[in-house]
Amino acid sequence: MSDYCKDMLSQQHGAQSLNEQYIEPKAKYYENISVTDKGLLIILGECNVLPCSAGSQSVLVPFAVIEDKINPRSPLAKLAGVANE
């Protein structure tokens, strides 16, 4: 998930402007996550990933990107379309 976020933010803002430390795969950087009907919306801290003037950043990680990590018996699996019933 962190690689996907890094790739999407690099495409949007250019790799040079990213503070990659705050995109590393550490739980403390991914504490603000919302579930949508399309995937997980990751909201990264303001002033962490980009300069403060850019505001907080968010990345929608489609379920297809993480479907192999979703427990097929979980409620999330039903929403993602990968449920084993």
- For residue range 6-25, what is the model confidence (pLDDT) as tens digits? 999 999 888 778 888 888 88
pLDDT band for position 66 (cuts 50, 70, 90):
very high
CATH number of the structural domain spanning residue 35: 3.90.640
In a domain, 85, yes or no: no
In a domain, 21, yes or no: yes
Tell me which residue range forms the domain holding 57: 2-80
In a domain, 22, yes or no: yes
**Cβ–Cβ under 8 Å, residues 27 and 42:** no
pLDDT at 85: 63
In a domain, 11, yes or no: yes
- Domain count of the fold of the chain: 1
C-alpha separations of 5 from 9, 58, 75 in Å: 6, 9, 24
Element (H, E) at 69: none
Tokens coding 52 = 């403060």
Is the pLDDT assigned to residue 59 strictly greater than 80? yes
